[in-house]
Structure 1
Amino acid sequence: MITIQDKPLNTSSLPALSQIETAIIQSLASQSVSYNYASLQELSFELALRKHTIHASISLLQSGARFESFMRSTCNPRFWRRMPNGAFQLNPYVRPSDAIEDIFQNGQLYGFECATAIIIIFYKAVKDSIDQQSFDQLFQQLYLYSWEHDEDLQLETRAGTDYVIGDCLYFDNPDFAPQHSVWRGENVIKLNDNLYYGHGIAIRTSEEIIYHLNQMRRPGATTTAHLLPQVTRLNFTFVRTFSSNGYTPRTSLDSAVTIQTGNQTRLS
């Protein structure tokens, strides 16, 4: 359910929405949880940020960035210094916005695991939703390693099953085989009702993700992989405070988005 100042949203008051924005609105409205906004502008900003999260997910898939363990991680040394633990530390005098963008433009130079991929996606979504100067001021000490992130990114994880398009979800694989420890689970971004992007697994349905993870279980395993009842999302209201006065989020996805399984995903 969506409310504006505690009143049910009148969809006729909304401007013309793109296909993906309409899908996000429907995803929010279909939840049993009530989503209340102070204004239509606040809702509009969240739509833009969720939309950019989807765009970033698809762009990362298309970038050529590889799935690698921390021990085998790689990055572009022009922008990042690879740390002994496999993390990426922003180089001095490099603009954070340029470093994040390079991952998507030169993905073949990068390799990382799925948690780092999710953080990268959220950084990219924020970068595309606020002005560059604000982004560069906020994230001057970028450090990419698993779920570690700048406190100003403000990711929130909580229990619940109100899965909304643009959220990060987690498929747990409790009986994973020791030799397949990288597949103890998969962090994903929800793209539509039953399509998810996960780094290393591409764009799949929940059934396909569970099937893949189940192949990585120990012999004799009896517990199937499953979607955890938890949600990770950006603090949209907080991020909006860093948008310049009057700044309108970019609308590069205002046209229709076609999402297909596998690697044949395209933007149109």
Structure 2
Amino acid sequence: MIILKDGSAINNLKGLSPVESMILNAIEKSKIRYQYTNLKELAFELKVRERIIINSRLMNSSAAMFATFPDSSFNPYYWIKTINGYRLQAGRRPSAAIRDIFENSYLYSFECVTAIVLIYYKSILDSIRPEYFDRLYSPMLIWGHNFNDAMHMVTYEGIDNIPGDVYYFSNPDYEDPIWMGENAVFLEYNQYFGHGIGIVTHSKMIEALNTLRRMNATRSAFQLNQTTRLDFSELYKYS
């Protein structure tokens, strides 16, 4: 359900792409009340969500590999490896460094949480002015849950199946801790992207994680009842 505080009509939102229209339809059909100041704020969320989906597909088709931190790699022209993650080199622009991950993906390897952070950064960059992005996200440190507070990533209980949201598939009987679960972007109906697994259906995500359990495991992987997404209303202030 969509509430526009200024009383605007949703049908005044013109020129949407097929992906944006799909996202809008999902939000409209939701039982949750999604409130926006005006059509521009709603359009901004649709744009960022579309970019999350596009960038997830780009990462899936890229040469970026799945790796734990000890075996990970980032392009040293932009990044310095520290004990807490990859820190942006002095004098390098965050916007250029984030673009490089998608343009020179063969130089990068990371795990699934970092993949989500990188997709979020790239999607925000695609939606606001590069100079704003550089100011907001400098200095920049990336790995796992290390990211700039200005990203405005939030996690809450419940699943609403809005394309562009991120869900977590838990694997309680994992063998290797790196496969204790998978963060996955919900792309569209029954289609998820998880770095290291790829673009698969819900059942195939569970099936893939179940092949990564310890011997004599008894518990199946499952999707947690939680959603991670960007706080689009906060990000809209930067647009």
TM bin, normalised by shorter chain, reads: over 0.9
SS at match of 2:48: helix
Of 197, 211, 219 in structure 2, the residue corresponding to residue 201 of structure 1 is 197
Paired letter, 1:23? M
User: Would the aligned equivalents of 1:70 and 1:112 in 2 still touch at CA under 8 Å?
Assistant: yes
Give the match for residue 181 of structure 1.
Answer: 177
Give the match for residue 265 of structure 1.
Answer: none
Shift of 1:6: 8.4
| Superposition pairs of residues 116-195 of structure 1, within 5 angstroms | 116-177=114-175, 180-195=176-191
Distance, in Å, in 2 between the alignment partners of 1:108 and 1:74 is 10
Over 4 Å off, 4+ runs: none
SS at match of 1:165: coil
| Superposition pairs of residues 88-127 of structure 1, within 5 angstroms | 88-127=86-125
Give the match for residue 68 of structure 1.
Answer: 67
C-alpha RMSD of the superposition: 1.4
Give the match for residue 83 of structure 1.
Answer: 82
Shift of 1:235: 0.9
Shift of 1:198: 0.8
- Structure 1 residues 172 and 6: CA distance shift in structure 2, 3 A: farther
Give the match for residue 58 of structure 1.
Answer: 57
Distance, in Å, in 2 between the alignment partners of 1:120 and 1:129 is 14
SS at match of 1:74: coil
SS at match of 1:92: coil
Give the match for residue 233 of structure 1.
Answer: 229
Q: Count how many residue pairs are aligned between Structure 1 and Structure 2.
A: 239
Distance, in Å, in 2 between the alignment partners of 1:123 and 1:20 is 20
User: Would the aligned equivalents of 2:51 and 2:126 in 1 still touch at CA under 8 Å?
Assistant: yes
Shift of 1:14: 2.2
1:125-165 deviations in whole A, cap 9, x for unaligned? 00000000000001111111101110111100111111310
What's the TM-score once normalised by structure 2's chain length?
A: 0.96
Shift of 1:10: 4.5
Distance, in Å, in 2 between the alignment partners of 1:59 and 1:142 is 22
SS at match of 1:63: coil
What's the TM-score once normalised by structure 1's chain length?
A: 0.86
Distance, in Å, in 2 between the alignment partners of 1:119 and 1:40 is 27
* Matching of residue 4 in structure 1 with residue 4 in structure 2: yes
Share of identical aligned residues, percent?
39
SS at match of 1:231: strand
| Alignment gaps of 5+ in structure 2 | none
The 10-residue stretch of structure 1 (74-83 or 23-32) with the greater mean CA deviation from structure 2? 23-32
User: Would the aligned equivalents of 1:63 and 1:103 in 2 still touch at CA under 8 Å?
Assistant: no
Distance, in Å, in 1 between the alignment partners of 2:195 and 2:186 is 13
Distance, in Å, in 2 between the alignment partners of 1:239 and 1:165 is 18
Paired letter, 1:2? I
Paired letter, 1:22? S
